[in-house]
A = this chain, B = another copy of it.
Amino acid sequence: MRNGDGRARILVINPNATVAVTEAIDEALDPLRFADGPMLDCVTLPEGPPGIECQRHVDDVSAPLCALIAREGNKAAAFVVACFGDPGLQAAREVTAKPVIGIAEAAYASALQQGERFGVIAILENSVRRQRRYVRQLGLDARYADSLAVGLGVTALEGEAVTHRLIETGRRLIEDHGADVLIMGCTGMARHRLALRQALGVPVVDPSQAGAAQAIAAVSIG
């Protein structure tokens, strides 16, 4: 649970198998790495699909994710499920008594503190439906503007054209749906956060960062 120099280890698991996404997450977490704070170890779930883009993916990833958590149980102080669908989250919490953080849950919790109504930039149309269901499940509808999809899959989120599309979608959430804080609804969007914030002038939550911060708190406070 703690490595040689006594630091706790947080295992951040990207449950899709796309290593480029894991790298983007890893990079996004840099500001949360402290010399004597918990280590943030980002790993890719090899059994995952390239992107978690439908409910099938969400369900199927639960088993290998839980297996990984069970295997690593003695070597980590907390786990972060780093996919905005929070796949396997409740199952994982049955597998280990250690904190398991879902980054969507963490992102919503963080957004509640940064504005009155959060809007979510989703990847695909069917993500929108899953997000509406999940926001209801969390009991947070009263604070939810809505989700809008950019129409791009997890592995198609790089590049400047994408930035523009994300900004455009964010603007509609603000102007048409009254959002005053935005959540990026996919880990693959991590590198666009600052551009979004600058263009739109509202807080923009990267769910991986929100999840890692919550894990650091859980591990440190104990």
Report the nearest B residue to A34, measured CB to CB.
B34
Distance between A39 CB and nearest chain B CB, rounded to angstroms: 12
Residues of B contacting A102 with CB < 8 Å?
113
Report the nearest B residue to A115, measured CB to CB.
B129
Q: A76-105: which residues lie under 8 A (CB-CB) from chain B?
A: 88, 90-91, 93-95, 101-102, 105
A140 at the interface (CB under 8 A from B): yes
**B54 & A59 in contact (Cβ 8 Å cutoff):** no
Number of A residues, CB within 8 Å of B: 59
Instruction: Please pick, from B35, B112, B178, B210, the residue contacting A146 in the complex, using a CB distance under 8 A.
Output: B178
Cα distance, A36 to B221, chains bound together (Å):
18
One digit per residue, 1 when the CB lies within 8 angstroms of any chain B CB and 0 when it does not, for chain A 208-219 equals 011001101100
Distance between A1 CB and nearest chain B CB, rounded to angstroms: 15
A60 at the interface (CB under 8 A from B): yes
Pick the 8 closest A-B CB pairs, nearest first. A139-B142, A213-B217, A34-B34, A59-B62, A137-B137, A109-B109, A55-B90, A55-B91
In addition to A138-B143, A139-B141, A209-B221, 6 A-B residue pairs with Cβ atoms within 8 Å of each other are A54-B94, A55-B90, A56-B91, A62-B62, A112-B138, A213-B220
